[in-house]
Structure 1
């Protein structure tokens, strides 16, 4: 029996930043997937991880990301990547969240960036108040100094919601972030498209979500 549905935000309730990464790379003549490859390398301790835990400031992130990207064939400044993070809300996913809220507890675990570090460098205005209010609890990496896929962040959510992980569904667009949730006993859904995610979520919850 499902007691709670826990969501990632970017790439789940919004469109994926990977699309923006690809457009940027093509426009600049950069190696394909250089941004994703830079993000994935040493993913616990790279520039991205440190920035999402609010351990470094924007200037340091900019320099570190540039240095790390050079290992993949070109220099990409960290400041240039930040505006690419803005995604458009997926209304069908927001509607599904509203329907689930009527029947189950809801939570959001998001790896995000410190608002005071981003300044005007990013147009990232993802945290729409109306949507975030649909969650019973929200955990933001930059506020607690901990980020996915650290297992502790998932345990913090289930403890706060007061639910057994075995009775939870977790959605994320990154496989590396799904594994710890799955290891805890959660039902996991990798979000590739909104249509696919809704089909999987309906199967997991038994609810009609569209």
Structure 2
């Protein structure tokens, strides 16, 4: 008997490619130190702009201003909207195949940082749940989104 009953999947960076690659390309292009954006996001991790956006406590406009202030204080001014634009990830076909292979055998839950604004919904890596992504999301038994739960994804 299989003791494993469920699989919890992270969407961005697992089902899709990592945003960290995009962050590093942006940093290189703009002459910033490597992993600077990650450092901004990890400074005051429970109260910074990123944490507040994940918990749906601020909108994208507020995020833009707060992130700009935080990044400036750490040495390089970056607009928050520029960072949001870097979140787009590419679907990893091999991960979709893994989802499909275990569908029906185990409970599958997707944990996602889900950023909501009045104009648009940006889930992990700026992937809208439409078309192919809707098909992928249908493979999960549960989707747990940070903005809907008002918590950060662990």
Equivalent of 1:37 in 36, 39, 42: 39
> Does 1:11 find its partner at 2:13?
yes
Give the Cα–Cα distance (whole angstroms) in 1 for the partners of residues 102 and 116 of structure 2: 29
Counterpart of 1:135 in 2: which secondary structure?
A: coil
Give the Cα–Cα distance (whole angstroms) in 2 for the partners of residues 45 and 135 of structure 1: 30
> Does 1:129 find its partner at 2:131?
no
Give the helix-richer structure, 1 or 2: 1
Q: Where does structure 1 lack aligned partners over 5 or more consecutive residues?
A: 150-210
Counterpart of 2:86 in 1: which secondary structure?
A: helix
Q: Where does structure 2 lack aligned partners over 5 or more consecutive residues?
A: none
Cα-to-partner distance string for 1:158-193 (whole Å, 9 max, x where unaligned): xxxxxxxxxxxxxxxxxxxxxxxxxxxxxxxxxxxx
CA contact (8 A) 1:17 1:85 kept: yes
> Does 1:82 find its partner at 2:84?
yes
The alpha-carbon deviation at position 45 of structure 1 amounts to 1.2
The alpha-carbon deviation at position 72 of structure 1 amounts to 2.4
Instruction: Give the corresponding residue for 1:142.
Output: 147
CA contact (8 A) 1:48 1:61 kept: yes
Q: What RMSD, in angstroms, separates the aligned Cα atoms of the two structures?
A: 1.8
Instruction: Give the corresponding residue for 1:91.
Output: 93
Q: TM-score, normalised by structure 2?
A: 0.89
Cα-to-partner distance string for 1:17-65 (whole Å, 9 max, x where unaligned): 0000000011111122111000111111110010111111111100110
Q: TM-score, normalised by structure 1?
A: 0.66
Give the Cα–Cα distance (whole angstroms) in 1 for the partners of residues 145 and 121 of structure 2: 17
Counterpart of 2:144 in 1: which secondary structure?
A: strand
Equivalent of 2:27 in 5, 21, 25: 25
